[in-house]
Amino acid sequence: MKNIKHITHPLIEHKLTFLRDVKTDPFQFRMLIDEITYLLIFEACRDLELKDVKVQTPVSTANCKKLKTKVMICPILRAALGMLDAVFKIIPDASVGFLGFQRDEKSLEANFFYAKLPDDYKNRTAIVIDPMFATGGTAIEAVKFLKQKGVKNIKFISIIAAPEGLKKFSEKFPDVNVYVSAIDEGLNEKGYIVPGLGDAGDRVFNTLS
């Protein structure tokens, strides 16, 4: 699976340990999601195109580079909202295209319910974000949606993935790179990643009872 980029780094490993811990409170959980996303976005953006620019420094003229690639960050509602701020801090002039998919808890199918893309979405590289890459169903539907709309360059960033979801996705979209910080053992009967971290949305938004 050449398109699966497992990003390993001592800082990511360290932060994942706290992220997974059931005792980590929502405030710290959000900070960790933010920090791990920073580290992943750097890797995911390694091949973005640059253009030459000149900048006047207080001393002289410097030959510099600016991003040529226009980026559209696509958070999949709702858990990915926890990752959005980190991407925005790194690429402040990116646009956001929201994608809404609701997972049916019985069939584990991803049902589309909402999309709001920027006007010029066809000219942008889409960076889809979703912290948990479980069955791959939502990721496949999200990428299918963007491709059908005419988006040509798509990348995917996830924090924790299940091997079966990655395999399914890779078979369908070998051209879409997935950057992930952990590949876990697998899925349980409810479609949760094992050992994973539980429901990422609940932990970000403090909606656990």
163 labelled binding-site residue: no
Q: In terms of CB distance, is 72 or 110 closer to ligand URA? A: 110
Work out whether strand 154-161 and strand 125-129 pair parallel, antiparallel, or are unpaired.
parallel
Beta strands in 85-203 (DSSP E): 95-96, 98-103, 110-116, 125-129, 132-133, 154-161, 177-183, 186-187, 193-194
Q: In terms of CB distance, is 128 or 132 closer to ligand URA? A: 132
Among residues 35, 38, 199, 205, the one that binds ligand URA under rule CB under 6 A: 199
Query: What number of chain residues touch ligand URA (CB under 6 A)?
Result: 9
58 labelled binding-site residue: no
130 labelled binding-site residue: yes
C-alpha 80/C-alpha 70 separation (Å) is 20
- Write each residue from 74 to 93 as x if it is in contact with ligand URA (CB under 6 A), else as -, in one continuous string: -----x--------------
Phi-psi region of 57 (alpha: psi -120 to 50; beta: other; left: phi over 0): beta
The full DSSP string for 71-95 is: EEEEEEETTTHHHHHHHHHHSTT-E
Among residues 132, 159, 161, 178, the one that binds ligand URA under rule CB under 6 A: 132
What Cα–Cα distance (Å) separates residue 43 from each residue in 48, 116, 157? 10, 26, 10
| By CB under 6 A, residue 205 contacts ligand URA | no
| By CB under 6 A, residue 134 contacts ligand URA | yes
Q: In terms of CB distance, is 94 or 193 closer to ligand URA? A: 193
Residue 207's Cβ-side half-sphere holds a number of Cα atoms within 13 Å equal to 8
Pick out residues in 169-198 that bind ligand URA (CB under 6 A).
192-193, 196
**Binding residue numbers for 5-phospho-alpha-D-ribose 1-diphosphate:** 78, 103, 130-138, 199
Q: Which stretches of the chain bind ligand URA, using CB under 6 A?
A: 79, 132, 134, 192-193, 196, 199-201
**Binding residue numbers for uracil:** 193, 198-200
